[in-house]
Amino acid sequence: MASAAAALAADAITATELTRSALARARLPAARAVFTQLREENALLEAAASAALRSAGVVPSPLAGLPISVKDLFDIRGETTTAGSAALADRSPAAADAEAVRRLRVSGAVLVGRTNMTELAFSGLGLNPHFGTPTNPCDPNAARIPGGSSSGAAVSVALGITVAALGTDTGGSVRIPAALCGLVGFKPTAARVPLDGTMPLSWSLDSIGPIARTVACCSAMDRALSQSTAEELPTKSASCQIAVPRSLVWEDLDRYTAEAIEATLARISRAGVTLVDVEAPEFFEIAEVNAGGGIAAAESFAAHRQLLDQHGDRVDPRVRVRIERGSSMTAAEYLDLLRSRREIQGRFIRRMQDFDLWLMPTVPHVAPLLESLATDAAYFAANRLMLRNPSLVNFLDGCAISLPCHDQGNLPVGVSLVAASGMDRQLLAAAARLEAVITSM
């Protein structure tokens, strides 16, 4: 993002040229199934407008003139939001932009296309039987999953089509594809970016965040999306204490992930950061209270029950069955869930109050092969494992950022830095300081 902005500032390239290049990459075979819609005409108009403003000395933000992709969960005025569902392809075009999209427009970003996703955003794997599944660019020799639900968002960045992508994260949908595709994914505190005009999955857990190549890129996106007035990342004392919760999130790691994470811990420790192993029994409690489908099942059924009634046969059965788990939940059970969430949040925050942040593997495994998920049993087992770690942060209403930590030439592995609700800029500051240590591949 910084190099593209510098090229624009130096008149080495124009916004129109950048956009034409992005659109050309989006039409290559490697980008199959990345987009549900390319906004060719409108993107070029937006680029021309950005170029005209720049020539007049008006550069509204570091995103001005840069190509950005938008997950097909956000309304864009005059366009149909399908949420990756064939059952929604005939919806009326949106009357207005989603608030997050409006804020990107104000920043001067060029919106090149709507990205593919898991149908209705309800899976961490990124498969879509309607629009196809974009394959992970990090393994040219095999078809691996991109991660989800913001699958096309991550692949649009990994392929160099866009400098950043707008995604959503209800249980890891920004961080999972970022980790599996070797990128940075930032999940802010849920209330940080308004959800207006964004198709809901779970009102209590949904959040909006970016996928990009660096912490600085995600920080620039965060400033635009949250309308933060902070121009620079805040500074803190170099004496940072990081908790390493050795509960649940370290179970079932594959060899690649375990080796990469342990090597990362060693590098961070050598850099002078204090790492403290802690217990986190709350993680097991969260898994227990969510065993019946949890808040996401209840709220997704409330959001999509009419769609299932009218067009359930057109919805991916693997998504439909997860939503339908919410149909049998009583009001009392749902309220019990919300009360348990508040109690667990309070206890966990008190447990972590002496630490600046905590660290954990983003997901336990590298990207599995697409062919390994052919059966429902394999699919649901992989999905549970992918969602297990990142969904804890949504339940706790924290903020988190996933950074790539694998050695060059190996399959991508992500490590997450996590902070309490509202500590977003502090988390980004810590991630910026540690990025060179963590990503020294």
Provide the pLDDT confidence category of residue 83 given band limits of 50, 70 and 90.
Answer: very high
CB 151 within 8 A of CB 168: no
Q: What share of the chain in percent tops pLDDT 70?
A: 97
pLDDT by residue (tens digit) across 354-407? 999 999 999 999 999 999 999 999 999 999 999 999 999 999 999 999 999 999
- Band of the pLDDT at 238, cuts 50, 70, 90? very low
Q: What strand order describes the sheet that includes 208-212?
A: 35-38, 110-115, 67-71, 164-168, 208-212, 184-187, 399-404, 414-419, 357-361, 241-245, 274-278
Nearest alpha carbon to residue 357 among 265, 286, 423, 440: 423
pLDDT digits (tens, 9 = 90+) for 18-33: 999 999 999 999 999 9
| 343 three-state secondary structure | helix
Name the band, by pLDDT with cuts 50, 70 and 90, for residue 237.
Answer: very low
pLDDT of the residue at 441: 54
Terminal-residue alpha carbon distance, the chain: 20
Q: How far apart are the C-alpha atoms of 185 and 218, rounded to whole Å?
A: 7
Q: What is the pLDDT of residue 440?
A: 64
48-61: average pLDDT: 97
What is the pLDDT at residue 390? 98
Q: What confidence tens digit (pLDDT) does each residue in 313-330 have?
A: 999 999 999 999 999 999
Q: Is there a contact between 318 and 373 (Cβ–Cβ < 8 Å)?
A: no
Question: What band does 235 get if pLDDT is binned at 50, 70 and 90?
Answer: very low
pTM of the model: 0.97
Summarize pLDDT for 289-316 with one digit per residue, the tens: 999 899 999 999 999 999 999 999 999 9
Token digits of residue 372? 């390994």
Active site (catalytic) residues: 71, 149, 173
Are the beta carbons of 360 and 418 closer than 8 angstroms?
yes
| Band (333; pLDDT cuts 50, 70, 90) | very high
SS3 417: strand
CA–CA dist 222, 21 (Å, integer): 25
What is the per-residue DSSP string for 42-67? HHHHHHHHHHHHHHTT---STTTT-E
Instruction: Give the amino acid at 85.
Output: S
What's the pLDDT tens digit per position in 86-145?
Answer: 999 999 999 999 999 999 999 999 999 999 999 999 999 999 999 999 999 999 999 999
Average pLDDT over residues 407-420: 95
Task: In whole angstroms, give the CA distance from residue 288 to residue 338.
Answer: 14
DSSP string, 80-125: ---TT-GGGTTPPPPSS--HHHHHHHHHT-EEEEEEP-SGGG--SS
User: Average model confidence (pLDDT) for the chain?
Assistant: 96
244 close to 275: Cβ distance less than 8 angstroms: yes
Mean pLDDT of 149-173: 98
Domains of the chain, first to last: 2-226 (3.90.1300.10), 241-285+336-438 (3.90.1300.10)
Instruction: State how far the Cα of 289 lies from the Cα of 92, in Å rounded to an integer.
Output: 38
List Cα–Cα distances, 340 to 323, 348, 431, in angstroms. Answer: 21, 12, 31
* C-alpha span between 372 and 145 (Å, rounded): 10
